[in-house]
Chain A
Amino acid sequence: MENLGSLAIILAFCLSVYAIVASVTGKIKRNPFLVVSGERAVYAIWFLLTFASALLIYALLTSDFRLAYVAGHSNRSMPLLYKFAAWWGGQEGSLLLWAWILSTYSAIVVYTNRRRFRSMMPYVTATLMVTQCFFLILIGFIVSPFEVLAVGKEVVGVADGNGLNPLLQHWAMAIHPPTLYLGYVGFAVPYAFAMASLITRQPGDAWIHTTRRWTLITWGFQSAGILLGAGWAYSVLGWGGYWGWDPVENASLLPWITATAFLHSVMMQEKKGMMKVWNMVLVSATFILCIFGTFLTRSGVVSSVHAFAQSPIGTWFVGFLALLIGATAYLILDRLDYLKSEARLESVVSRESAFLFNNLILLASCFAVLWGTLFPVISEAFTGEKISVDAPFFNRVNVPIGLFLLFLTGIGPLIAWRRSSLESLKRAFLWPAVGGVATAVVLVAAGVRHFYAVMSLALCAFVAWTIFQEFYKGSRAIRSRTGKNWLAAAVELTHRNTRRYGGYVVHMGVVLMFIGFTGAAFNKDKTVEVHVGDHFAIGRYELRVADINSGENPNYAWSSAEVEVRQNGKLIDRLYPETRFYKSSRQGASEVAIRRRLHEDLYLNFAGLSEDGDNKAVIQAYVFPLVSWIWIGFWVLMAGTLICLIPSKTRFQFARTEIVGMVKEHEPVRQ
Chain B
Amino acid sequence: MSRFGNSVVLLLVAVLALAQSSSELMTPDVVRIGSHLACLCGACNNTVANCPMLECHYARPAKEKIYRMVAEGRTDEEIIQSFVDEHGLQALAVPPKEGFNLLGWVMPFAAIAFGLLVIWWFVRRYQGVRVAASGADDEVFERYRDRIEEDLSRLDS
Contacts and interface: CB of A to CB of B under 8 A. Distances in A.
Contact of A552 (B7, B44, B47): B7
A375 B151 CA distance: 49
B93 A390 contact: yes
B92 interface: yes
A654 B155 CA distance: 8
B134 A664 contact: yes
Contacts of B89: 385-388
A240 B51 CA distance: 11
Contacts of B136: 660-661
Contacts of B130: 344, 668-669
B88 interface: yes
Contact of A388 (B18, B94, B99, B155): B94
Contacts of A559: 11, 15
Contacts of A479: none
Contacts of B39: 390
A443 interface: no
B104 A371 contact: yes
B135 A305 contact: no
B11 A344 contact: no
Contacts of B38: 388, 390
B15 A344 contact: no
B112 interface: yes
A386 B91 CA distance: 9
A608 B14 contact: yes
A229 to B, nearest CB: 15
B75 interface: no
A344 B20 CA distance: 65
Contacts of A663: 131-132
B1 interface: no
For the complex, would chain B's binding face be called helix, strand, loop or mixed by DSSP majority?
helix
Contact of A609 (B19, B131, B140): B19
B100 A658 contact: no
Contacts of B53: 239
A579 B4 contact: no
Contacts, number: 220
B152 interface: yes
A382 B131 contact: no
A579 B4 CA distance: 18
B71 interface: no
A360 B122 CA distance: 12
A371 B133 contact: no
A618 interface: yes
Query: Interface range on chain A: under 10, 10 to 19, 20 to 34, or 35 or more?
Result: 35 or more
A53 interface: no
Contact of B135 (A612, A653, A662): A662
Interface in B38-53: 38-40, 42-47, 52-53
Contacts of A416: 152, 156
Interface string A229-263: 00000000111110011100000000000000000
A607 B46 contact: no
B95 A586 contact: no
B47 A367 contact: no
A579 B94 contact: no
A375 to B, nearest CB: 5
A236 B108 CA distance: 33
A210 interface: no
Nearest to A617: B19
A518 B153 CA distance: 38
Given A379-B95, A416-B152, A658-B144, A392 B47 contact: yes
Nearest to A588: B14
A244 B46 contact: yes
Contacts of A401: 108, 112
Interface string B132-147: 1111100011001001
A535 B115 CA distance: 56
Contacts of A655: 147-148, 151-152, 155
Contacts of A361: 112
A364 interface: yes
A580 B14 CA distance: 8
Interface in B72-91: 88-91
Contacts of B126: 274, 341, 343-345
Contacts of A393: 93-95, 104
B8 to A, nearest CB: 8
B9 to A, nearest CB: 10
Contacts of A364: 108, 111-112, 115
B155 A417 contact: yes
Contacts of B140: 660
Interface in A414-443: 416-418
Contact of B16 (A345, A383, A558, A608): A608
B23 A390 contact: no
A557 B132 contact: no
Contacts of B47: 390-392
Contacts of B10: 557, 581, 583, 586
A387 B108 contact: no
B35 A392 contact: yes
A658 B52 CA distance: 61
Nearest to A416: B156
A586 B17 CA distance: 12
A357 interface: yes
Identify the interface centre among B52, B91, B100: most chain A CB within 10 Å of its CB.
B52
A411 interface: no
A346 B45 CA distance: 46
B32 to A, nearest CB: 13
A391 B45 contact: yes
Interface in A261-281: 274
Contact of B100 (A379, A386, A662): A379
Contacts of B94: 388-390, 392-393, 396
B101 interface: yes
A586 B8 CA distance: 13
A607 B54 contact: yes
Given A652-B155, A660-B136, A668-B132, 14 more contacts: A240-B52, A241-B52, A344-B130, A353-B119, A364-B111, A528-B23, A581-B10, A608-B15, A609-B15, A611-B21, A618-B19, A620-B52, A653-B151, A655-B148
- Going nearest first, the 6 A-B pairs with the smallest beta carbon separation are A239-B52, A661-B133, A581-B14, A388-B38, A368-B108, A655-B151
Interface of B: 4, 7-8, 10-11, 13-21, 23, 26, 35, 38-40, 42-47, 52-54, 88-96, 99-101, 104-105, 107-108, 111-112, 115-116, 118-119, 122-123, 126-127, 129-136, 140-141, 144, 147-148, 151-152, 155-156
11 contacts: A360-B119, A364-B112, A379-B101, A386-B88, A416-B156, A528-B23, A559-B11, A610-B20, A618-B54, A655-B147, A655-B151
